[in-house]
Amino acid sequence: MSLRLLLLLSVLIGTGAPLAAFEFTDSFVAHMKATTNPHGFGLRDQRYFPYSTRYGRRIGFGRPVTDTSLYQRGETPAESEQALRQGLSLTLVHLRTALARTHPTVAFDALDRRAQEILLDHAYTEGVEHLPPAFLDAVLQADWDRLLDQHLYIRGLGNWPDTIKNQAFGKRWIYGDPATVLRPLKGAPAASRTGFIDPRIPQPRKHSD
């Protein structure tokens, strides 16, 4: 466990705040890997090295490069996953704090598991402070019709939708396990019983490179 995470946990315990009950299941972590780097960008000889994205230099599973020594030594897939889990844990703390301030009557642990995952997913990739209020309200109210109809393509840079993130979202919540999908899109193929359909999510028109 990293020093940063230990300090964070000690602060939570010292202030009497309850530790997060949210479980970082292997399924959710695999989804976050598919959301951030499903193609193994930067992976060479079983080590991750920094790679370029439209958001800047990243390493592992979408993590900003803050240590220049990583350009030379890289990191193992296990180290990348550990960093992802730690980043998600830290994001969850920030998300709880933000919700307590903006929606004091909402308890994160009382939310539908799907709402918890969607909020944490978007908070991790976009930043807690960048969650659109209308999107946040739709998720907190479990209004999946409004979420899918109005907020399906909110991730991206400017007018450039992030196809990788959109497809990962669709695979988990639209084309995935019939027991957990929010609501299949009209005209979308029915999900297989195994939940492993290759999604072809319609995308808004992109600008040419």
Give residue 168's domain range. Answer: 3-38+77-173
Q: What is the DSSP letter of 199?
A: -
Q: Could you tell me how many helices (H) and strands (E) the chain has, helices first?
A: 8, 7
Residue 10 domain-assigned (yes or no): yes
Structural contact between residues 20 and 89, judged by C-beta atoms closer than 8 angstroms? yes
Is 159 among the domain residues?
yes
For the chain, the domain total comes to: 1
Residue pLDDT, tens place only, 108-134? 999 999 999 999 999 999 999 999 999
Q: What angle, rounded to 10 degrees, do the helices at 113-126 and 133-140 form?
A: 160
Q: Does residue 150 form part of some domain?
A: yes
Does any domain span residue 187? no
DSSP-based helix, strand, coil % in the chain, nearest 5: 45, 10, 45
Residue 191 lies in a domain: no
154 within domain boundaries: yes
Higher-pLDDT residue of 7 and 68 is 68
Span 171-204, pLDDT tens digits: 999 988 888 899 876 655 544 333 333 444 444 4
User: pTM value?
Assistant: 0.78
Residue 20, domain member (yes or no): yes
Is it the case that residue 5 has pLDDT exceeding 50? no
**Higher model confidence: residue 180 or residue 143?**
143
Instruction: Evaluate whether residue 143 is within a structural domain.
Output: yes
pLDDT of residue 93: 96
What average pLDDT does this structure show over 80-101?
96
Average pLDDT (97-117) is 94
